[in-house]
Amino acid sequence: MAANESISIFSSASLAVEYVDSLLPENPLQEPFKNAWNYMLNNYTKFQIATWGSLIVHEVLYFSFCLPGFLFQFIPYMKKYKIQKDKPETWENQWKCFKVLLFNHFCIQLPLICGTYYFTEYFSIPYDWETMPRWYMLLARCFGCAVIEDTWHYFLHRLLHHKRIYKYIHKIHHEFQAPFGMEAEYAHPLETIILGTGFFIGIMLLCDHVILLWAWVTVRLIETIDVHSGYDIPLNPLNLIPFYAGSRHHDFHHMNFIGNYASTFTWWDRIFGTDSQFNAYNEKMKKVEKKTE
């Protein structure tokens, strides 16, 4: 009975979204995107698309999303939004981070990306335009992937902070006490694999088209670079998402090496009380800000 009710609710929600979608004006970018997608399918093999296409998407998006935060350090106006104002970015740290990123991206992540093609072949994941899901279905599946990844990340991240193993693996990611966007994937190779597994679990469970791979990569990179940015921007649209952790939440974790273990949402930290120190810190900072007004 409960299962039937759930199916009925989801069906009604899906119909409602489809109705709203039908009222929206036609997307002017859809036709150019369709032409570009079909050009890609006609000129490249599935292996090239799944492997080199995924690598290019990751690299271009990663450093593009890092660019605003990188530029903020040169804009005096943005300094008031930096969370740890006493720890500015340095060229030395950013160059060191960049070199480790190149190693991780091409020596650790690329071999994993090479398995994408075989995954899509084994599970018969389509590439064609005709079976590409609508935007709202992509969004829903990306949200599902985010919930799954966040759950995996919370428990495995918390485990990596165990005193017996912290110094061997996760300590590298905490080398910079004041995070910056490019540091999001600065980690020990084992950590890249351990925490990165959470990214692939959602794909294995929810993927129904290769476009989801790239959509989920986009969403995940936006989120992880945002929380590592070191800046708390008031008009950040991501802060409108219910239970979204945000940069201040994760910055506290880097500043104190404890608590706030989740990657995207706040509910696991609330459930297990691992955000108690952060909440006390927030209250203290609010009182300080009121006094300085």
Q: What is the pLDDT of residues 194-245, one digit of tens each?
A: 999 999 999 999 999 999 999 999 999 999 999 999 999 988 999 999 999 9
265 Cβ partners below 8 Å, 6+ apart? 146, 147, 150, 243, 244, 245
**Residue at token pair 């009975």:** 1
- In angstroms, rounded to a whole number, what is the distance separating the alpha carbons of residues 37 and 39? 5
Please report the pLDDT score of residue 11 as a whole number. 56
Among the residues of 24-168, which ranges form H helices?
Answer: 30-43, 46-48, 54-72, 91-103, 110-113, 115-122, 135-160
- Output the pLDDT for position 282: 75
- Mean pLDDT of all residues in 257-266: 95
Question: Which one has a higher pLDDT value, 17 or 108?
Answer: 108
| pLDDT for position 10 | 47
Two structure tokens written together for 122: 């084994």
State the virtual CA torsion across 262, 268, 269, 271 in degrees, nearest 10. Answer: 180
What are the pLDDT digits (tens) for 1-51? 544 554 555 455 555 666 566 656 677 778 999 999 999 999 999 999 999
Alpha carbon distance 151, 263 (integer Å): 8
3-state secondary structure of 265: strand
Taking the model in full, what pTM does it have? Answer: 0.89
Q: Residue 90 gets which letter from DSSP?
A: -
Q: Tell me, what's the pLDDT at 121?
A: 96
SS3 track for 110-142: HHHHCHHHHHHHHCCCCCCCCCCCCHHHHHHHH
Q: How many CA atoms lie within 13 A of 72 on its CB side?
A: 24
- Exposure of 128 in the CB half-sphere (CA atoms within 13 A): 3
Q: Give the span between the Cα atoms of 26 and 70, in whole angstroms.
A: 35
